[in-house]
Structures are given as structure tokens and as C-alpha cells.
Structure 1
Amino acid sequence: MTITIRPASTVMFTGDSITDLQRPHDEDPYACSYPVRVAGEWSLRHPDRPVTWLNTAVAGHKVMDLEARWQADVLDARPDVLSILVGVNDLGWHTLDPDGHVIPADEFKAGYGRLLAPLADAGTQLILIEPFLLPIQGVVEAGAALVGEREREQWREDLDPKIQAVHELAGEYGAHLIPADRMFAELSVTTGPEFWAEDGVHPTSAGHSVLATAWLDLVA
């Protein structure tokens, strides 16, 4: 089963900073981000099939943040295809922030499901991308803090049940799934994880490229 994008379709990406295009210019987001790569490659392959591309991702957002703006930012646009990547901000690394709040996997799944239900009912084609965490070695910067492997092991324990929740939701709502966490883990065996995401979370240009390729592989 594949995604069908017809002429004049509206395709929307949403989620957090990995999808958000509004990044500092010195990071060259327009050359790097997977949504832009997808749109650019589509235009090259199908110049006779114009598509409206939308991006409503916001850096730092969690499932509950998406839910708060879902009607205005997503449902009102009535996308034909919606691609979602969310979850890494729902992990334990937010405990480094005194105002952070980490929700358990069951609450994460319930909130995520509330996002999907009205879209599935409307016949929107859904693409869910696994949240991912690459196995970076040593100390890296997370926000304003420096964290090591012990903290990332705790994040992994928090992430795995949330990845499972995304798999279950894909089955329940008939969504397509991109297993990004598994994909990056397999790629990291030969190249090292830093090639795909220097901090283990935000993809490099190469990381965005493979995300875009995986996304386009779903399209008829």
C-alpha cells in the first residue's frame, strides 16, 4: 500500500524542530530539511502535477502542544496527506528543564490518537515517522546542558515504549509508518551515528536526505 498524491493535493508536514523550517539561517535549513527535499524532488519528478506543500511544525513542541493548535494549524487546512514526526520532546531530556514535563507512553499515545482520529475519519492519508535517538558516544549538548551516555540510556528507556505507541497508532488508524529510529540505527553501524545526527536528535544534511528518500518511497 502506498500514498497517492494527485494533482492539486495539499500535503502537510507537522511536528517539532526536526520538521520545522524556521531555523537560524547559518544552519541552512532550506538546503537541509527533509520536507524541502521531498517537495523539491517531487517537483523534479512530476512537473505536471502541482502540489500545495505546507509545514506547520514548531521547534520544541510535544504532542500536547500540537493538540493545542491542531484545529487551526492542521484540521482547518484539510490536508490530503499529513506527515507527522513528534515525540523526541516528550522524552526524559526535558527533565533537564525545571519547567519540563514528561508524559508516560500511555498518555503520549492517547494524545497522539486524538490528533489522528478526525483526520482518519476525513479520509486523510497519514504518514507517521518514528521519533528517533541515535547512539552518540560521549558528552553532547542538549539545550543548555551537557549530558552523557547514562542520561541518553534513560532517554532510550523512555523512547522505546513511545515508538511502540506510534506503531500501534499506525495500525489503528491505517497510517503509513516510517521506522526512522530503526533506519538510523542500522545506518549508524557502518558510518557512525554522528554522520546522520551530530547530537543524536537533529539530523545532518545526510540525515534529512535519507528521511526524504524514505518518505518518497511511500508515494505511488
Structure 2
Amino acid sequence: MAITVRPGSTVMFTGDSITDCRRLESEDGLGFGYPLRIAGEWGHRHPDRPVTWLNTGIGGHKVMDLEARWRRDVLDAHPDVVSVLVGVNDMGWHSIDPLGYAISAEEFETGYDRLLTPLAEAGTQLILIEPFLLPVHGAIEAGPVLIGEKEREAWRADLDPKIQVVRKLARRYGAQLLAADGMFAALAAAAGPEHWAADGVHPTPAGHAALAAAWLRLVV
């Protein structure tokens, strides 16, 4: 059942760089990615239903980073709808991370669950977006390091159980699930993965448009 966004609602997007998308450089604080596209399209479709749109995504953040700022950045705003996209930084980046960060699917679930519990108790409507990884070809840059396809296969093996966690939590909390990983896999089969995310992680303009269109199908 789709989420009803009522006039005067506050809708918050939060997560990592995919949501952040240089929001601090943008005039309205929404960044230049899918949150901006959603807000623009909603305003176009529903001029009679004004909404306050907020973005508290921060590049590089993991579940534990969200938890550290959850009260200040999310709960204190008392949003009516919260959309979360997190998990790609909880993936197997530890293979190149000098700090050796690693988190199991079980720890990821426990941390994510702690984010959602107070929102559910407050009656907040939830949209959970799956983390995703597109099968781009050749090596990609991750900071100063070039990452080949074999390393990314290991990332995929690490990410898949965490995608399952997001699906499980969506069922547990009655949240809307945006099945982004499957969506991008289907899109990549038709137009090639680089069309949607040149590095397999950060969407292109077309990728952000696809996320926005899928998100808007979950709300009325």
C-alpha cells in the first residue's frame, strides 16, 4: 500500500553520498541527485500539496555513522516520512580500507534496526532503498586505488546479505521497499551498467532519474 504524502508533510532523505550528492553546495540543501528530482516532480504533479523536503545524507557514511547523528539529524526534525539509503559503505570496502573496517550482515541489521525503531514508535512512514552495485566493466577508481572486477565480485558477495537485511527490515516495519539493486540490474541489461552508474555505485543523472521515478511510485 503506497504512502500518502499529505499537504504540509515533512519528508526526509538520509544516507550516504548517493543521497548527499553535494547538498551543501545546493541552494535548497537537497543536492543534485534523486531527492531534488523527487521534490521537483512532486511539486509539478501536486502544486496543491506543498511538502517540506529535507536531505541529511553525508558522503561515506555507514550505518554506525547514521546512528551517531540520528537524534540530531533525523528524529529532532519530526519528519512524517523518512527515506533511507545506506549500506554500500558497509560493503566489503575493508579490502582497501587502511582502517580495516568490516561489519557483518548481522551487525548491519542490528544497527539499522536501531535507526528504525524510534521512527516506527513515532508513527513515521518509512521508505527503505536497497543498496546496489552495478556490474561495470574494467577497473574503477576508489580514491587513489584502482579496483578491478575480481575485487568487486567480493564486494557483491558481501553486499548481497545486507540487501536481504534491508528487505527483511522493510517487512518487519511495514516500510515501502525500493528494490534498487534489482531495478538497476534490469536497467543495466538493457542499456549497460555505466549508463546508470559509471563506477557501479554513484548514479549518473540517468541513474538518479531512475531512482526518483521508482521512489515516486511508492507514494500517492
TM-score, structure 2 length as denominator? 0.95
Partner of 1:22: 22
Question: What does 1:185-204 align with in structure 2 at a 5 Å threshold?
Answer: 185-204=185-204
Q: Does residue 1:2 correspond to 2:27, yes or no?
A: no
What does residue range 26-175 of structure 1 map to in structure 2 within 5 Å? 32-175=32-175
What SS is found at the alignment partner of 1:134? coil
Partner of 2:13: 13
- Number of residue pairs matched by the alignment: 217
Taking the aligned partners of 1:4 and 1:89, their CA distance within structure 2 comes to 31
Preserved contact between residue 21 and residue 32 of structure 2 (Cα < 8 Å): no
The alpha-carbon deviation at position 94 of structure 1 amounts to 3.4
Using the alignment, how far apart are the partners of 2:143 and 2:107 within structure 1? 24
Separation in 1, partners of 2:10, 2:109: 26
- Contact 2:87/2:131 (CA < 8 Å) preserved in 1? yes
Aligned partner of 2:206 in structure 1 is: 206
Is the Cα contact below 8 Å between 2:92 and 2:158 reproduced in 1?
A: yes
Q: 30-39 vs 2-11, which deviates more?
A: 30-39
- Contact kept, 8 Å, 2:22 with 2:32, in 1: the verdict is no
Give, in angstroms, the shift of residue 60 of structure 1.
0.3
**How far apart are 1:144 and its partner, in Å?**
1.9
Instruction: Give the partner amino acid of 2:42.
Output: W
- Cα deviations by residue, 1:82-139 (Å, 9 ceiling, x for unpaired): 0000000001123312114110000000000000001011110000000000001111
What do the CA deviations read for 1:187-215 (whole angstroms, capped 9, x no partner)? Answer: 10111100000000000000000100000
Q: Is the 8 A contact 2:7 2:50 kept in 1?
A: yes
3-state SS of 1:12 partner: strand
Mapped contact 2:93–2:101 kept (Cα < 8 A)? no
Runs of 4+ in 1 over 3 A off after TM superposition: 29-32
What are the ranges of 5 or more consecutive residues in structure 1 without an aligned counterpart?
none
Distance 1:73 1:31, change over 3 A: closer
Percent identity between matched residues is 68
Check whether the contact 2:14–2:85 (CA below 8 A) recurs between aligned residues.
Answer: yes
Distance in 2, matches of 1:94 and 1:210, equals 29
The RMSD of aligned alpha carbons is 1.5
CA separation in 2, counterparts of 1:68 and 1:154?
28
Q: Mark the runs of 5 or more structure 2 residues left unpaired by the alignment.
A: none
CA distance in 1, matches of 2:210, 2:23: 20
Are the aligned partners of 1:32 and 1:204 in contact in 2 as well (CA < 8 Å)?
no
